[in-house]
Structure 1
Amino acid sequence: MSRVGLIGLMVLFTASLVAQIAKPVRFTEEIFDFGNIIEEDGPVTHAFSLTNSSDKPVMILSVKPSCGCTTPEWSKEPILPGKTGMVKAQYDPKGRPGYFHKSLTVTTDYDGQPITLYIKGQVVSRNVSSTSSEYQAVSGMLRFRSLSVNLGKVFRKDEFTQRNVDFVNAGDKTITYLDKFDAPAHIRVEVVPKTIQPGQRGEIRMGYNGLKKGLYGFHQDKITLYTDDETQPAKSFTVYATLEDYFVPLSAKELANAPQLYITELNVDVGNIRFKQSAVKEIVFTNVGKSVLEIRNIQGNCSCLEAVVDKENLKPGESGTIKITFTPEDRKGTQTKAVTVYSNDPQNPVQRIMVAGYAE
């Protein structure tokens, strides 16, 4: 390739990358917390506002909730430049006590790249005592807000991300933590106080070391604490975390010389897939930065999805291929999955490729 052609290609990639990072079509918020909602009061609704800062009308093509408990509505007319549209999320708490965290995947005709919105909150009932309402997860004589702990994003650093879990002794006897727990090496646990009187509240102080976990992406672990609670001595919890690399703040000069990952397609439609067959798609990715790009991990969010790269280290200007194999197995109908790519691009270290198809 000639020098002029190479420069033209790099300019094209850089312009595409800027468009990829910038968000001319964006929501003013992507997460909304309802707080405590009363189950008997019925569904609750929140409206997310979408601003079109581009130079062309934009339409919302679809909004797909992660659960049947969430009903979406959205602006059906084109959103003109400089104007706003909306996506409403209605959550039905009936029969769903405790914590919830749901998502809605929004697709527009601007670039087809999905935007994920989240709603969360705590469903309580007015028909029980205040303690029971606040702490609805029961483990023997102890009550917790939930028996699962979501740490959210945890960086792969040699330090412990801290999360405290409070609880109450709802029984009529003193309960003592026996200073014994089962947990993987990257999780540490402390209970304060170790002896909890009837009606007293306590706290589990949990630490999670992302570097010791040694993985990328979404993972779960089980931990068990042991007490002298006669009704249920062992208290088990599920701990969730999403692991990503940590990057120290860089100067403008350092950022200008950093690697940059550009993926040519972030939305892939593999079409119809016959029973017990697979669909294969290859996507080109390029290092449009000025230092070596490392692909540190790539993973699908389903056992039905395999993703591999032909190169893990790319020099500036060099390209590689991501090969995605989608095997629906026993799944039927429309399928939407994701492949996540982790790299040493400090500005965009985590990128997702959405994979859609129809399993016959």
Structure 2
Amino acid sequence: MKAYSILILFFFSTLFPLSLQADRPLHHWEKEVALGDIPWKVEKKIRFQLKNDTPSSFRILSADSDCGCTRISFPEQAVAPDSTYEIEATYNAATLGTFSEQILVRTDADTVVRILTFSGRVLTEVRNLQKEFPYQVGDIRLSTDNVEFDDINRGEQPEKTILVFNEGKKNFVPELMHLPKYLMAYTDPEVVRPGKMGKIRLQLNSNELHTMGLTQTSVYLARYSGDKVSKDNEIEVSATLLPQTTCTEAQRIQAPVAVIDTLVDLGSFSGKKKLTARLLLTNRGKSLLKITTLQVYNPGIGVSLPKSTIKPGETIKLKISASSAFDLFRGRRRVLMITNDPSRPKITIDVMLKK
């Protein structure tokens, strides 16, 4: 089944130094994420996407919020040169009114503390249904029709929330059909009255995932008792299970090192049926680089490699294509690569294109 990224996520921001001392350059899009109006007593996720534009790797030591209402997640592995990475914040909108929050980020590259910021306003009433609940299933509106569990380690049980709004005149009992064994769904409240909002909380049991890398499926929102599955009530779910990598310092010195650009711009279709680009994948390590998994999140994206093993010092071409026959604009377009590089076991390549 196909899967895409969650559309309610707000992303593309940057880090900047608190002092005037020399700083590592970072590719960025915006300096602050403005969330606008958000509903009271819900959790809002903000994704900051950044790029290491330096020739050296670094690790994020900590990412701390100045508010106990915000949870932060960041990559634990080293950020390789020319690679993109994400810091995700989950804000609990428990207090009414305007807010502006900061995230303080420290790395092992230097002593500079960098800041991520996001702001918005918490309201008791949903003022913009089309913005907060852009997906409609009958009389029910959803905050998203796609759920993505990213960077999951074996044993973890992460959760994601889908917000629902009852636009009809009858009570609505949220229920998801065709749940796989690795997913559990909980609703709050059990009955959503007309004009009111509810939540569907999805919990992933990573121990039930049998495949490393990307696992995709679809679940379906029951609009009424006895409802059938169709494209109209489909919610897509994806989970990315990371490989477990442990090695000694001596093994790390002799390990393979994967180097590839993690952002590719295919340009515009402009009447063309297909767009294609090629990226160079180089092994700058001292042992054989193995690509164990190569997958796409969007069925309109195609990817291929001439071989799955690369010798030290060798470079091969990764081919990425996009077809206009698919709905490529329904969320994030990514390629997933799992390798035996211990400092970079998971590589994601973001694909940019225009209609």
Q: TM-score, normalised by structure 2?
A: 0.50
Distance 1:212 1:268, change over 3 A: closer
Correspondences of 1:56-67 after superposition (within 5 Å): 63=29
CA distance in 2, matches of 1:53, 1:352: 33
Match of 2:259 among 228, 238, 262: 262
Distance 1:188 1:330, change over 3 A: closer
Q: Who is 2:101 aligned against?
A: none
Query: Residue 295 of structure 2: SS of its match in structure 1?
Result: strand
Match of 1:317 among 290, 313, 317: 313
Checking the alignment, whether the CA contact within 8 Å between 1:293 and 1:314 is kept in structure 2 is yes
Q: Who is 1:242 aligned against?
A: 239
Structure 2: segments with no counterpart, 5+ residues: 1-12, 56-81, 94-120, 127-142, 162-175, 187-199, 228-232
Match of 1:92 among 14, 36, 41: 36
Greater share of residues in strand: 1
Q: Who is 1:14 aligned against?
A: none
CA RMSD in angstroms comes to 5.9
* Identity %, equivalent residues: 14
The total of aligned residue pairs comes to 263
1:120-166 residue CA offsets vs partner (Å, 9 max, x unmatched): 434965469xxxxxxxxxxxxxxxxx999967345464x5636599x
Deviation at 1:348, TM superposition (A): 0.4
Deviation at 1:98, TM superposition (A): 4.2
CA distance in 1, matches of 2:334, 2:183: 31
| 1:187 paired to 2:153 | no
Query: Residue 279 of structure 2: SS of its match in structure 1?
Result: strand
Distance 1:109 1:257, change over 3 A: closer
Deviation at 1:241, TM superposition (A): 4.7
Correspondences of 1:5-20 after superposition (within 5 Å): none
Q: Which amino acid aligns with 1:262?
A: V
Greater share of residues in helix: 1
Deviation at 1:244, TM superposition (A): 2.9
Match of 1:282 among 236, 254, 278: 278
Structure 1: segments with no counterpart, 5+ residues: 1-46, 64-71, 73-86, 129-145, 166-180, 192-202, 226-230
Query: Residue 161 of structure 1: SS of its match in structure 2?
Result: coil
Query: Residue 296 of structure 1: SS of its match in structure 2?
Result: strand
1:54-78 residue CA offsets vs partner (Å, 9 max, x unmatched): 9689586x62xxxxxxxx5xxxxxx
Checking the alignment, whether the CA contact within 8 Å between 2:283 and 2:313 is kept in structure 1 is yes
Q: Who is 1:300 aligned against?
A: 296
1:231-280 residue CA offsets vs partner (Å, 9 max, x unmatched): 977999968453133324322112123222122x3333344443133232
Checking the alignment, whether the CA contact within 8 Å between 2:300 and 2:327 is kept in structure 1 is no
Correspondences of 1:1-360 after superposition (within 5 Å): 49-51=15-17, 63=29, 87-93=31-37, 98-103=42-47, 105=49, 116=86, 118-121=88-91, 122=93, 125-126=123-124, 152-153=149-150, 155=152, 157=154, 159=155, 161=157, 186-187=181-182, 189=184, 206-209=203-206, 212-214=209-211, 216-217=213-214, 219-222=216-219, 240-263=237-260, 265-329=261-325, 337-359=333-355
Checking the alignment, whether the CA contact within 8 Å between 2:283 and 2:312 is kept in structure 1 is yes
Q: Who is 2:6 aligned against?
A: none
Distance 1:96 1:282, change over 3 A: farther
Distance 1:164 1:300, change over 3 A: closer
Distance 1:254 1:309, change over 3 A: same
Q: Which amino acid aligns with 1:187?
A: Y
Checking the alignment, whether the CA contact within 8 Å between 1:154 and 1:210 is kept in structure 2 is no
CA distance in 2, matches of 1:322, 1:336: 19
